[in-house]
C-alpha cells in the first residue's frame, strides 16, 4: 500500500517502518571508519548498487549510510560508517551480535542496465570507494556483461585506504586495469603519489562506449570532470553520486535539495545523477 503526499510523491508505507537486523561482523578499517555486515530478520534488503539506508539509533536519531556491498551477495549486506557525529558515534559502539534498525533502501541507483555492454571507468576518492564498491563488485560478479574496466582509486594517505583486501584482489585481476594513488605517501608506501586526476590522462577511453562513474568528496568532482571532458567524454556518460545532508530519505523534509534548475532532492532523485542533470549546481 502507498500514500499520496501533498507534493505528489508516492511513498510506500513500508518506507516508514524500521526493519530489525543483527550485526554479524564488524571491523575497524581506519581510525574513523568502521565496517558492518548485517543480516535482516525478515529477509533480503533488496537494494541496487548506489542506494542507501537510514540507520536508526533509538533515542539518538538516524543517519543515511551508503550500502557498500553488491546485491549479488545474498543473505547479508554491508555498511561502512564514518564517525562524524552523535548518531554515527553510537553506531560505532555497536558490535557483533548487536541489534540494528534499518529503513530503506532508498534513492536512485547506478544505471546498471544502461551500462550493460559498455566500458566502465571507476574513479573513487576517499570514502567514495564505499558506495562505489557496491557497483564495482556487481560488475566483477557479472564480468561478461561489461566491456573494459578501469578502476582509479585515491585517498589522502595510505593509512586512510579502505577495503585493502578488495584492492589487492582488483590489482591482481587480469581482466581489469587498476591504479591507486595517495596525496601524501609514507616511508612504506611504494605506489603513486599525487592527486587522483594525475591517473586519468593515462587511461585510454573509447568515448562512444565508456561510462565514467565518479564518487568522492565534493572538491574532487570539478577537477575529475574537467579531465574527463578533456578526453571528449559526453556529459551524459559521466555518472556521479552526490553527498547531501539527507534526513527522511523520501523527499519530504527538504534537507537535501540541490540548487539546480529542477530542484532535485538528493534522497529520491539521487544520490546518483548523470553529470548533465546537475552540472549547473553551484555546489558541484
CATH architecture assignment, domain 2-106: Beta Barrel (2.40)
pLDDT of residue 143: 96
What's the pTM value of the predicted model, to 2 decimals? 0.90
Which residue do the cell numbers 555498511 mark?
A: 79
CA quadruple 117, 118, 121, 122: dihedral positive or negative?
Answer: negative
Degrees to nearest 5, angle at CA 28 with 24 and 33: 110
Stretch(es) of the chain classified as CATH 2.40.30.10: 2-106
Per-residue pLDDT of the chain (284 residues; tens, 9 = 90+): 333 333 333 445 567 789 999 999 999 999 999 999 999 999 899 999 999 999 999 999 999 999 999 999 999 999 999 999 999 999 999 999 999 999 999 999 999 999 999 999 999 999 999 999 999 999 999 999 999 999 999 999 999 999 999 999 999 999 999 999 999 988 888 888 999 999 999 999 999 999 999 999 888 999 999 999 999 999 999 999 987 566 666 666 666 677 666 777 777 877 999 999 888 876 66
Distances (CA, A) of 76 to 6, 42, 55, 139, 270: 36, 11, 15, 18, 24
Q: Per CATH, which fold does 112-241 belong to?
A: Rossmann fold (3.40.50)
Whether 170 contacts 151, CB under 8 Å: yes
Q: Where in the chain is the domain with CATH 3.40.50.80?
A: 112-241
Residue 95's alpha-carbon distances to 25, 73, 91, 135, in angstroms, are: 8, 21, 9, 26
Amino acid at each position: 500500500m502507498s500514500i499520496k503526499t501533498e507534493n505528489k510523491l508516492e511513498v510506500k508505507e513500508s518506507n516508514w517502518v524500521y526493519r530489525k537486523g543483527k550485526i554479524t561482523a564488524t571491523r575497524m578499517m581506519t581510525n574513523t571508519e568502521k565496517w558492518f555486515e548485517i543480516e535482516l530478520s525478515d529477509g533480503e534488503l533488496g537494494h541496487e548498487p548506489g542506494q542507501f539506508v537510514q540507520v536508526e539509533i533509538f533515542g539518538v536519531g538516524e543517519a543515511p549510510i551508503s550500502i557498500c556491498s553488491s546485491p549479488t551477495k545474498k543473505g547479508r549486506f554491508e555498511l561502512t560508517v564514518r564517525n562524524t557525529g552523535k548518531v554515527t558515534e553510537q553506531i560505532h559502539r555497536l558490535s557483533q551480535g548487536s541489534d540494528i534498525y534499518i529503513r530503506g533502501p532508498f534513492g536512485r541507483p547506478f544505471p546498471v542496465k544502461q551500462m550493460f555492454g559498455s566500458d566502465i571507468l571507476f574513479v573513487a576518492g576517499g570514502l567514495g570507494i564505499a558506495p562505489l564498491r557496491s557497483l564495482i563488485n556487481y560488475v566483477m560478479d557479472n564480468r561478461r556483461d561489461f566491456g573494459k574496466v578501469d578502476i582509479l582509486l585515491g585517498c589522502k594517505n595510505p593509512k586512510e585506504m579502505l577495503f585493502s583486501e578488495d584492492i589487492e584482489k582488483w590489482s591482481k585481476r587480469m581482466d581489469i586495469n587498476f591504479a591507486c594513488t595517495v596525496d601524501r605517501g609514507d616511508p612504506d608506501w611504494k605506489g603513486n603519489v599525487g592527486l587522483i586526476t594525475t591517473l586519468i590522462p593515462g587511461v585510454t577511453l573509447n568515448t562512444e562506449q565508456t561510462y565514467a562513474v565518479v564518487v568522492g568528496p565534493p572538491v574532487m568532482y570539478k577537477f575529475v570532470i574537467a579531465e574527463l571532458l578533456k578526453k571528449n567524454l559526453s556529459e551524459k556518460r559521466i555518472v556521479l553520486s552526490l553527498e547531501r545532508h539527507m534526513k527522511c530519505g523520501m523527499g519530504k523534509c527538504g534537507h537535501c535539495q540541490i540548487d539546480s534548475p529542477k530542484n532535485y532532492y538528493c534522497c529520491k532523485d539521487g544520490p546518483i545523477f548523470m553529470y548533465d542533470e546537475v552540472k549547473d549546481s553551484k555546489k558541484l
